[in-house]
């Protein structure tokens, strides 16, 4: 049974918390005693439009331990304002969950600069700006021993996607932003290690309005969609809450996946084969021969995430 007060005292900022996975994360963190700022302007999947009432209603259902921040977090001033809301309303900040994301898919040869910019700004830049706004406070928390010494409450959780790890047709901007979050996670984990603050990336699978819109282009994608539609976002939220718990104090810089009852730990790119030439520069022929012999057996298959996770989820 989960200790309902396991995360008492902590303050969290969860972006994209008005619905879907972000809402589940906010609810689970709140149920464990965390005070929460839910940041979400209530956009459509492509980031257009706004309905801040959505996030206000989720926050008011959670109760006095939650407050709504209805602006888009995709500007430097809003990122700072969202963090300041946590400090002003709840007296500090310990946990950041960068979950907000939009999609504007297009095959790479049809990529529109405006759409690329909007996706990168919302899915990657906003996470970096919020991290930049929150981490000085987390460092001060560590110096002051907030919640006890050594400081053990500081957590950054970036919500990635297997699209950023595998790639997927038509998702150049989304996959690039999500791959960028991996770099951001690693650097945040390194830069904050001396303050005892962890940073990890979680690639989720869950039935949300986004999963609903997948238009399967083949059998593997149809199978993926059917499986994904049976998966509750609560599993992702429970894993995020675990990462925020004292048991996960030493877990940092890692890439996880959560799909219903399965939790995956992903490998991170490291050299797996090496060739060295005998001196001077490679000739094309020598390079071709060495690459074929040493690298060909290790090349990564050009499969999409949808194909790779088309097995039935364990719900």
Ligand X SMILES: NC(=O)c1ccc[n+]([C@@H]2O[C@H](COP(=O)([O-])OP(=O)(O)OC[C@H]3O[C@@H](n4cnc5c(N)ncnc54)[C@H](O)[C@@H]3O)[C@@H](O)[C@H]2O)c1
Positions touching ligand X (CB under 6 A) are 15-16, 18-22, 39-43, 45, 47, 72-74, 99-102, 122, 159, 161, 204-206, 208-211, 228
Please report where in the chains the tokens 């602006």 appear, as a residue: 71
192 neighbors 165 (Cβ within 8 angstroms): no
Which entry of 23, 72, 176, 178 is annotated as an active-site residue?
A: 178
Tokens at residue 126, please? 């906003």
Q: Which is nearer to ligand X, 140 or 212 (CB)?
A: 212
Active site includes 225? no
Tell me the three-class secondary structure of 254-287, residue by residue: CEEEEECCEEEECCCCCCCCCCCCCCCCCCHHHH
Residue 282 C-beta: closest distance to ligand X, Å: 40
Which entry of 23, 151, 166, 174 is annotated as an active-site residue?
A: 174
Which residue's Cβ lies closest to ligand X?
Answer: 20
Active site includes 161? yes
Residue 57 C-beta: closest distance to ligand X, Å: 12
Residue 50 C-beta: closest distance to ligand X, Å: 8
Per-residue buried b or exposed e for 214-238, using 16+ beta carbons within 10 Å of the residue's own CB = eeeeeebbebbbebbeebebebbbb
For 155, phi then psi, to 5°, come to -140, 135
Residue 15 C-beta: closest distance to ligand X, Å: 5
Active site includes 224? no
Q: Which is nearer to ligand X, 62 or 159 (CB)?
A: 159
286 neighbors 277 (Cβ within 8 angstroms): yes
Write out the catalytic residue numbers. 161, 174, 178
């Amino acid at each position: 049974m989960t200790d309902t007060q396991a995360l008492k005292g902590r303050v969290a900022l969860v972006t994209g918390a008005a619905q879907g996975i972000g809402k589940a994360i906010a609810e689970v963190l709140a149920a464990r005693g965390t005070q929460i700022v839910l940041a979400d302007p209530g956009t459509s999947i492509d980031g257009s439009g706004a309905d801040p009432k959505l996030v206000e209603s989720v926050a008011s259902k959670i109760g006095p331990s939650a407050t709504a921040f209805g602006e888009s977090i995709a500007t430097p001033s809003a990122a700072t304002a969202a963090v300041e809301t946590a400090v002003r309303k709840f007296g500090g900040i310990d946990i950041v969950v960068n979950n907000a994301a939009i999609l504007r898919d297009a095959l790479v040869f049809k990529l529109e600069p405006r759409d690329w910019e909007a996706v990168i700004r919302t899915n990657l830049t906003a996470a970096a700006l919020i991290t930049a706004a929150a981490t000085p406070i987390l460092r001060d928390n560590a110096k002051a021993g907030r919640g006890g010494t050594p400081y053990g409450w500081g957590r950054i959780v970036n919500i990635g996607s297997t699209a950023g790890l595998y790639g997927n047709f038509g998702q150049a901007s989304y996959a690039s932003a999500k791959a960028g979050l991996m770099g951001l996670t690693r650097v945040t984990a390194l830069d904050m290690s001396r303050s005892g603050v962890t940073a990890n990336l979680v690639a989720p699978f869950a039935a949300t309005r986004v999963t609903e819109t997948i238009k399967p282009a083949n059998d593997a994608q149809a199978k993926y969609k059917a499986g994904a539609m049976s998966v509750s976002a609560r599993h992702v939220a429970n894993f995020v809450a675990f990462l925020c718990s004292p048991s996960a104090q030493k877990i940092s810089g890692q890439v996880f996946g959560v799909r219903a009852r399965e939790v995956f730990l992903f490998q991170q790119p490291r050299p797996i084969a090496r060739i060295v030439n005998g001196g001077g520069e490679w000739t094309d022929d020598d390079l071709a021969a060495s690459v074929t012999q040493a690298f060909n057996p290790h090349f990564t298959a050009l499969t999409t995430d949808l194909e790779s996770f088309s097995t039935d989820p364990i719900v």
